[in-house]
Amino acid sequence: MMNADLRIYQYKGILNIKRSQVLETNVLPKDDSVEWLFLIADKKEDKRYTFFYKIEHSSNALYENPFFNQLAFMDEVGKFIKSNI
């Protein structure tokens, strides 16, 4: 997997995510080493796209509270986003 510092982030966004049930209760979003999620673009066609995120102000990020991120999508997803903004 590419180092997050070398990845090109094309967008800024806000995520509001729930803590995974497999994480301990004291874990914060900044502690999550995965840093990728799925965007469900069309539930009918089951289109899902992977995107990576980098928390902008990691000390302020909490689960179930919106926090700012930089987002990195693959080319196909970028085209989808631009056509739906």
1-15 pLDDT per residue, tens = 455 567 889 889 999
pLDDT of residue 77 exceeding 90, the answer is no
pLDDT bucket at 82, cuts 50 / 70 / 90: low
Over the stretch 37-68, which tens digit does the pLDDT of each residue have? 887 777 777 777 888 999 999 999 999 999 99
Query: What gap in Å lies between CA 61 and CA 8, rounded to an integer?
Result: 21
Q: How many CA atoms lie within 13 A of 19 on its CB side?
A: 14
**Residue 5 pLDDT:** 63
Q: How far is CA 78 from CA 27, 29, 83, in A?
A: 31, 24, 9
The predicted model scores a pTM of 0.73
Tell me the average pLDDT across 59-79: 85
